[in-house]
Chains A and B, each alone.
Chain A
Amino acid sequence: MINKWSLKNYKHIIIETIEVTLNEIKTHITGSKSSSILPSPGEAQALASRFAGVLPRPFLKYKPYWILWAIISRCGKAYYEKNPTELYISRDVVTRWVKEFQIPQERIKEYLIPLIDYGVLEFSDKPEYLYRVRGEFFNLIGPIAQYSTFTIPPEELTSTMMVLDGIMTIYIIAKAKRVPWLLKLPMIYTISGLEPEPGKFKIRDVLEIERVNAVDSYLVNERGLGKEFVWGIKTAAFRLMTSNRIIERVIEGRGYKLYGPWVRIHEEGARRFYIRRFRERYEKEFRRL
């Protein structure tokens, strides 16, 4: 029912999957020409929107989260007006953040450190400014955020915001190399369906109820997680999966059908992890000889 190999290595596979996702989105949104798994930019946007609503904790407290949105807004404006000076953050702007977000003056550094750690901001190369939005982050978020500088048509509003949120989430998680449980559990459920065929990395796209239960008992019995903890996270994770449409529909009597590209990036993540592990082992052998 469940693939023990993938569950044993879930931490690495999940990180690999997040990196695959970030690369996919980068490829499509910045329009670079490297080969990709997803066929079109729209597909990448749809995939990104599946990661929305995960971020605030444990990475950022609420106030840094607001600052982050202010930075995204700034990126959008800079992209739309093609004006790179918007990306520089002066002492003035920082004092405005202090005042408007009601952050104590002596603690502002503490609030900005996570943003620097996660690669959103970096120290400025021009002496008159304090910080600068990192180019990588700007290239990723600018093309979508530019739509927020003018009125978005109402039917596009929710989904555009979800795409922005999702891109930002993937970027920060990929930089932090740490995935919150809320997202980790759906990913574990997904990779537990890896078919045990050697050489073919296929994941069953129907999430069966038995599989969910088997994963839960694996986490409790063999990984030593608390039972109540798993139950609590499970409910929240299912809420995330339905509200972000990771679960596409219910198949009566069998389980839940998962969103296609979501399954595909997990397959790719598992494949890359396997290849990397294989190469590492091979290199070790080689060195011993």
Chain B
Amino acid sequence: MSVILGFERITRKWTPLRTFAGIAVESALDAVKQGDVDVAPYFSKLLYLLPFAPLSVEKVLTYSLIKASRGYIEKNPSLYEVHVSEVPGFEPDEVDKVKVAFEFLHGLDIAELIPPDRIKLKSEVINAIVEPVAPYLATKIDLSRVDLSRSSYPYRVVSGISSLYVMHKSDRLPTSFTIMMGLLSPTAWVRRDGKVDRKTTIERDEWEKARSNMSMLRRLRNKFDLEYFRTIGLLHENNIVVAIYPRAIEIVGTFVDKVIVPVYERYYRLRRVVKRARS
């Protein structure tokens, strides 16, 4: 059956590519909210790549989420608050950095500032992202011994969720993330009858095609190579690439099932709505 929406259509122009990546964030967040916590680690450490976010945000948000999930389990709202001096991983003279992160979180409507030096996570954040992961995090991470520089599994989960939520709230994406979604888009396609087919491998020529399509985009022309290598780093670091065969690359199945297929479904529906509205 013939394909009516595939990776070529998505990677050829900037608007579909950006829309596709934007929907990917929403779908991943939805998957986490529905209880598929293991989707989150594929998005960890993305916050560092967001150009406008201060570098300390990742640590501060991760710590407050860990603390809040303990609070959620113990039904103790005082744990939703974080004090400037208690975030681990900062020297005593780096209070300013933490404060900058506080301001940033306040600006994105994730937390409210409690003067002089506290923040409190908003209740909608608790409902949206702390609730699904709290039972998991509270048993895996000990609050008195949080070490934010570690990259073991539970930390990657929090890191991924915080990245996803900040991208969702600010509606801005790192370029390398957009390119990553473009490179991974050949793993699914929409058939003429509206059903989405999937596979877990990307052929070498599909990969090259997606890459060359994106390198021609005017938005990316100057910085494509740099961002492409960052993307490769991301793919390997977050364990999205499972194996490399002589003529193909295998992607982890969970990512395809939980992120890329829902993205195609939503994107296809969106396109049909737009078309109908135009006609």
Contacts and interface: CB of A to CB of B under 8 A. Distances in A.
Contact of B248 (A40, A162, A257): A40
A147 B246 contact: yes
Given A40-B203, A43-B200, A249 B242 contact: no
Interface string B72-102: 0000000000000000000000000000000
Contacts of A259: 200, 253
Interface of B: 38, 197-203, 242-250, 252-254
Given A159-B245, A160-B245, A42 B250 contact: yes
Nearest to A155: B244
27 contacts: A38-B199, A39-B197, A40-B203, A42-B202, A42-B245, A42-B247, A43-B199, A43-B200, A43-B201, A43-B248, A45-B246, A45-B248, A46-B200, A46-B250, A49-B243, A152-B246, A156-B244, A158-B243, A160-B245, A160-B246, A162-B243, A245-B242, A248-B254, A249-B254, A257-B253, A259-B200, A260-B200
Those 7 A-B pairs whose CB atoms lie nearest each other, nearest first? A42-B248, A42-B201, A159-B243, A45-B245, A156-B244, A248-B253, A39-B199
A42 B203 contact: yes
Contacts of A49: 243, 245
Given A39-B199, A46-B201, 13 more contacts: A38-B199, A40-B199, A40-B201, A41-B203, A41-B247, A41-B248, A42-B248, A144-B246, A152-B246, A156-B246, A159-B250, A249-B253, A260-B198
B121 to A, nearest CB: 25
Contacts of B201: 40, 42-43, 45-46
Contacts of B252: 248
A15 B268 CA distance: 40
A18 interface: no
Interface residues of A, number: 27
Contacts of B198: 260
Contacts of A45: 201, 245-248
A155 B248 CA distance: 12
Contacts of A158: 243
Interface in A127-152: 144, 147, 152
Nearest to B249: A42
A268 to B, nearest CB: 16
Contacts of B245: 42, 45-46, 49, 156, 159-160, 163
Main SS of the interface on chain A?
helix
Interface in A29-88: 38-43, 45-46, 49
Contacts of B250: 42, 46, 159
Contacts of B38: 249
A40 B250 CA distance: 12
Nearest to A250: B38
A178 B249 CA distance: 32
B34 to A, nearest CB: 12
Nearest to A45: B245
Contacts of B197: 39
Contacts of A160: 245-246
B225 to A, nearest CB: 20
A40 B200 CA distance: 10
Nearest to A40: B203
Nearest to A143: B246
Nearest to A245: B242
Nearest to B242: A245
A46 B243 CA distance: 9
A261 B199 CA distance: 8
Interface in A232-286: 245, 248-249, 257, 259-261
A109 to B, nearest CB: 36
Nearest to B201: A42
Q: Among A41, A152, A153, find the residue whose CB has the most chain B CB atoms closer than 10 A.
A: A41
A259 B248 CA distance: 17
A72 to B, nearest CB: 15
A121 B251 CA distance: 36
Nearest to A253: B35
A159 B249 CA distance: 10
A261 B201 CA distance: 11
Nearest to A48: B245
Q: Among B201, B203, B247, B254, find the residue whose CB has the most chain A CB atoms closer than 10 A.
A: B201
A245 B253 CA distance: 10
A123 to B, nearest CB: 32
B186 to A, nearest CB: 9
A150 to B, nearest CB: 11
